[in-house]
Amino acid sequence: MRILCFVKAILDPEAPPGAIRFPGKVESGDVSTVLGPFEGNALELALQISEASAGSFTAVAMGDGAQDVALRKALALGAGRAARIDVATGFVDPLGAARRLESAAKELGGADVYIFGRQAGDWDMGVTAGLFAGLLDLPFVPLVQQAEVAGEGLRLRREIPGGYEESLRTGPIVLSVTNGPRTLMRLPKVKDVMLANRKPIDVLKPAEVGENLTLAEIAQAQVTRQSRMITGDAASQAAQLSAELRRFLVTGGGN
Amino acid sequence: MGIPHRVVYWNVPDHAWMYLPFAILCIVFAYGVWRRWRVWATGRRMPLRPWGPRLRRLLSHAGLQSRVVRRPLQGYAHLALAVAFVLLFIGTVVVALKADFGLPVMQGAFYLWFESATLDAAGLAGIIALAIFLVRRYALRPSALGRELPDFLVPFTLLIILITGFLLQSLRIYATHDPWGAYSFVSYGLSALYAAWHLSTPLALIIHRSLWWFHLLLAFSFLGAIPYSKLFHLFMAPVAILLSDPDGATKLEKLDLEHSERLGANMLTDFTVKDLIDLDACTECGRCEEACPAFASGKPLSPKRLILDLREHAHERPLEPLTAAIEDETLFACTTCRACMEACPVDIEHVPKIVGMRRFRVMEEGEMPTGLAEAVQGIEERGHPFRGAQASRTTWMEGLPIREWQPGETCETLLWVGCAGAFDPRAQKVARALTQLLLAMGEDLKVLGRRESCTGDPARRAGQEYLYQMQAEENVKTLKDVAPRRIVTMCPHCLHQLRDEYRDFGADFEVVHHSEYLQAALVTGRIRAAAGGRRITYHDPCYLGRYEGVFAAPREVLKAAGGDVVEMAHHGPDSFCCGAGGGWAFREEGVPRVNRLRAKEAVATGAEVVATGCPFCLSMMTDGVKAEGGGEVEDIAEILWTQVAPEVTAQG
């Protein structure tokens, strides 16, 4: 099976509060760029499918050189090829992104399986995979947690309340992958990491697509903290806490 | 009476037949040694110079058995047995020189005082020692000692050899009316019994001749068994001691990542010659197991079992991978505290083997326990192992009059805060207390702030040598740019890296632990502490004590802070790990937890305060002592600052 796995590196979601500031634009300071959390799940599933079908997969990212972190990780895990659509990193219009990815997918020769993480860990929209499937007129299965190669097709499992559902697909398909016990990204082997650092990353020219959405404003919430210790014996503490919570519910936390 | 002597083979006219079993013994022995040699020969060679420290350790640990006698009863019994057998061996060589080469060496005063009196004393000491061993193993039954058949046969056979030796000698004295018999005082006493029993001379001769062959064949069998049993430690323990790292193997070997055929150890050939000799040097005494915090807390690791499993693998399946012999869980249970290595009487180096095998599992197979993997990923992605940290590298120092070093500036004293000091809320308080102490001393103090990154120690101990080396290279480069006159750190893990392991990456800095620096400042009067008076017990961090040899300085600081220092059952080099080492600080641990075991000891001292000098120990001991109903747990810097602050205020 030919597989394309789309990955994205994002500003460290574990950066301490205030480390990333966005007064009008994003200021990342010293915060590092890391592979997005769901892209790790996507890579793991891409790897499993490629292993089960004795094939390989291509990892694709979109953005500037900072995206190479994600692509190197993909190469270390076993991606046969890595390509980056060279655009400036910044606010992403999902439809524009899907069109550029569609163009890149065609340039790379297309695939049987297109795999996304459930959502990018920074903008958290979670729609690009669905839009991409629409542009290619392909079926889309979101939030996949397990995939098995079944003959020429795939058997895909999703969690539903109280159980799971499985769907079968023979032919090209688009998936988005979420976290689960079977999609926990494995640790790459160090020799592969060292080799990955020497492998080339293809740079693709972005397709010319019109802007559908532009960023009008970005602003940071003002966080204020009010805290005090509740002291006294257990009964007194419970009474004070109860009164405090009632007051909070009535006033919404204000004084 | 003439010159004192005795006739060798006096009652054994057909003694020449003994060369047949002797030849068989030589063949069996040689084959046994060759079997083991071919395993050692596959090991990697390691540097041996300088010889001086190695020979000194050989004299101390093998000659004087200084580690064996740390347990006085069995230790001195072992020393006595060893000395006895060396003497008896020399005595036997003397007999051979006379009987086989006709040299007149077994006569006169030498015969009376050495061959007779001294060897009798040696035999008697050997019997007493063996009796102690047997009583201890089978009556007292300590759990660390095995009770398999070979465990019984070894001391029992030796005992029979010694007893039959006395019987032979006493029968000879009795039957020949040996005029010098009294010098062999034990045998002479036995011969007096035969006289009392009116043992007939012909019967004595028959018993003597039969017993002579029995004694000989038993002794030859025993010697032949040496290369096939734990008895081989007679030869291999001194070799293992001689080859042991003069610095105690505290520094892990720098792995050549580019050119190594395999990253880490998974075949016997990945081990050093020393590693492989260690397997045959093990005496199965179980002291490593008794000292091991992982074993004590029920984890699937016994350092003794690990060595014995590797020994079995080496001799039964030498070409198979080590994954077949040692489970991942066993390797990752180790806290790398080195208690096993400190306890081992023959200097077996367990921890480098464990980390070597971890390296393979982590770097070649991508295996790492949950929690540890996330911590290592944290180091890779953001330069510290604390997931979910709410602080930046400089949050802890807000409001304190210190600042980050800037390029182009000189740096007198650099405070290496460490990741714990920067990101762990509890350790941040230690960093603040230490900073205030250093400022009170008038130090020109700077920190690296955003330029500081994890030393990589947790990654290295976990087996992720690649990430470690990247961290080490980057940090050494940064420190060379800063070129501080000295580095002070409050983290023993950072200390060990910056002071020792970074030397393999070109580092050569003056690095001190804060306990050492504070102690020196107290001695020279740079800081003064108000009188205290609290009862304090001190927990030795493994990486400060057993790794860096710093035991006295923290205790001196506590005393200077007015503390009444009381010791726990395990302290100093014999200290017991808090459970954080080897990456366990970042893992979920089952029950019982190591820190609870250690906290029990701390609480048992009745101390009001448990002091330590490591942020990871601080965290583990705080949890443990709280659960055990003990008092406060504080870093030495906090305790000292409490006593110094009023003095600083008083001085205005």
pLDDT one-digit tens code per residue, A169-181: 999 999 999 999 9
Band of residue A252 on the pLDDT scale cut at 50, 70, 90: low
Band of residue A209 on the pLDDT scale cut at 50, 70, 90: confident
CA A203, A123, A187, B418 torsion: positive or negative? positive
Cβ contact, residue pair A190, B389, below 8 Å: no
Confidence at residue B389, expressed as pLDDT on a 0 to 100 scale: 79
- In tens, the pLDDT along B230-258 reads 999 999 999 999 999 998 899 999 999 99
CA distance A61 to chain B (A): 19
Q: List B residues 387-406 in contact with A (Cβ-Cβ < 8 A).
A: 387-392, 395
- In tens, the pLDDT along B600-645 reads 999 999 999 999 999 999 999 999 999 999 899 999 999 999 999 8
- Which candidate, B541, B554, B539, B516, places its Cα nearest to that of B607? B539
Q: What's the average model confidence in pLDDT over B322-348?
A: 97
Band of residue A28 on the pLDDT scale cut at 50, 70, 90: confident
Q: Show the tokens assigned to B453.
A: 């990154």
CB-based contact, B52 to chain A, within 8 Å: no
In a domain, B150, yes or no: yes
Upper half-sphere CA count for residue B437 (Cβ side, 13 Å): 33
Which residues from A are below 8 Å from B450, CB to CB? 30
Q: Show the tokens assigned to A66.
A: 């900072």
- In tens, the pLDDT along B68-94 reads 999 999 999 999 999 999 999 999 999
Band of residue A30 on the pLDDT scale cut at 50, 70, 90: confident
- In tens, the pLDDT along B28-46 reads 999 999 999 999 999 999 9
Q: What's the average model confidence in pLDDT over A228-241?
A: 91
Cβ contact, residue pair B263, A191, below 8 Å: yes
Q: Which CATH number goes with the domain that contains B437?
A: 3.40.50.1860
CB A84 within 8 A of CB A63: yes
CA distance B340 to chain A (A): 30
Percentages helix, strand, coil for chain B (3-state, rounded to 5) are 60, 5, 35
Interface test with chain B among A190, A193, A194, A223, by most B beta carbons within 10 Å: A190
- Which candidate, B316, B315, B292, places its Cα nearest to that of B305? B292
* Number of separate domains in chain B: 4
Band of residue A253 on the pLDDT scale cut at 50, 70, 90: low
Who among A17, A32, A188 is closest to B390 (CB)?
Answer: A17
Contact residues for A244 (Cβ-Cβ < 8 A; gap 6+): A230
Q: B218 and B299: one domain?
A: no
Cβ contact, residue pair B368, A189, below 8 Å: no
Report the C-alpha gap between B252 and B540 in whole angstroms.
21
Interface test with chain B among A21, A72, A187, A223, by most B beta carbons within 10 Å: A187
Confidence at residue A87, expressed as pLDDT on a 0 to 100 scale: 92
Who among A14, A187, A191 is closest to B388 (CB)?
Answer: A14
CB B512 within 8 A of CB B443: no
Q: B286 and B144: one domain?
A: no
pLDDT tops 90 at residue B200 = yes
Report the C-alpha gap between B330 and A142 in whole angstroms.
40
- In tens, the pLDDT along B553-595 reads 999 999 999 889 999 999 999 999 999 988 899 998 887 789 9
CB-based contact, B266 to chain A, within 8 Å: no
DSSP state for residue B138 in the 8-state scheme: I
ipTM greater than cut 0.85? no
Q: B454 and B342: one domain?
A: no
Q: B514 and B528: one domain?
A: no
In a domain, B375, yes or no: no
Band of residue B295 on the pLDDT scale cut at 50, 70, 90: very high
Radius of gyration of the CA atoms of chain A, in A: 22
CB-based contact, B629 to chain A, within 8 Å: no
Who among A32, A34, A193 is closest to B466 (CB)?
Answer: A193
Who among A19, A32, A190 is closest to B263 (CB)?
Answer: A190
* Single residue among B175, B194, B228 that ends a domain in this structure: B228
Q: B263 and B403: one domain?
A: no
Who among A32, A189, A193 is closest to B382 (CB)?
Answer: A32
Report the C-alpha gap between A5 and B79 in whole angstroms.
68
Q: Percent of chain B having pLDDT more than 90?
A: 90
CA distance A102 to chain B (A): 30
Q: B489 and B577: one domain?
A: no
Q: Which CATH number goes with the domain that contains B619?
A: 3.40.50.10700
In a domain, B48, yes or no: yes
In a domain, B372, yes or no: no
Interface test with chain A among B358, B377, B382, by most A beta carbons within 10 Å: B382
Q: B277 and B386: one domain?
A: no
Q: B557 and B509: one domain?
A: no
In a domain, B315, yes or no: yes
pLDDT tops 90 at residue B184 = yes
Q: Which CATH number goes with the domain that contains B41?
A: 1.20.950
Q: What's the average model confidence in pLDDT over B430-438?
A: 98
Q: B593 and B580: one domain?
A: yes
Confidence at residue B591, expressed as pLDDT on a 0 to 100 scale: 78
Q: B159 and B303: one domain?
A: no
Domain of B332?
A: 250-364
Q: B171 and B314: one domain?
A: no
Band of residue B1 on the pLDDT scale cut at 50, 70, 90: low
- In tens, the pLDDT along A101-117 reads 999 999 999 999 999 99
pLDDT tops 70 at residue A151 = yes
Who among A16, A186, A193 is closest to B390 (CB)?
Answer: A16
Cβ contact, residue pair A189, B389, below 8 Å: no
- In tens, the pLDDT along B462-520 reads 999 999 999 999 999 999 999 999 999 999 999 999 999 999 999 999 999 999 999 99
Confidence at residue B647, expressed as pLDDT on a 0 to 100 scale: 79
Give the residue from chain A lying closest to B392, CA to CA: A16
Mean pLDDT of chain B: 95
Give the residue from chain B lying closest to A9, CA to CA: B381
Output phi, psi for B169, to 5 deg.
Answer: -65, -40
Q: Percent of chain B having pLDDT more than 70?
A: 100
Confidence at residue A254, expressed as pLDDT on a 0 to 100 scale: 54
CB-based contact, B364 to chain A, within 8 Å: yes
Q: Percent of chain A having pLDDT more than 90?
A: 70
Contact residues for A6 (Cβ-Cβ < 8 A; gap 6+): A39, A42, A59, A60, A61, A62, A101, A114, A115, A116, A117, A128, A129
Chain A residues within 8 angstroms (CB to CB) of chain B: 12, 14-17, 19, 30, 32, 34, 186-191, 193-194
Give the residue from chain B lying closest to A32, CA to CA: B382
Q: Show the tokens assigned to B418.
A: 């460490």
Q: Which CATH number goes with the domain that contains B358?
A: 1.10.1060.10
In a domain, B407, yes or no: yes
Band of residue B649 on the pLDDT scale cut at 50, 70, 90: confident
Burial class (CB in 10 A: 0-12, 13-18, 19+), A24: exposed
Q: B92 and B169: one domain?
A: yes
Confidence at residue A18, expressed as pLDDT on a 0 to 100 scale: 78
In a domain, B369, yes or no: no
Report the C-alpha gap between B636 and B643 in whole angstroms.
11
β-pairing, A173-177 vs A163-169, is unpaired
Which residues from A are below 8 Å from B466, CB to CB? 190, 193-194
pLDDT tops 80 at residue B150 = yes
Instruction: Report the length, in residues, of chain A.
Output: 255
In a domain, B164, yes or no: yes
Beta strands in chain A (DSSP E): 3-6, 9-11, 33-35, 57-63, 81-86, 113-117, 140-150, 153-160, 163-169, 173-177, 202-204
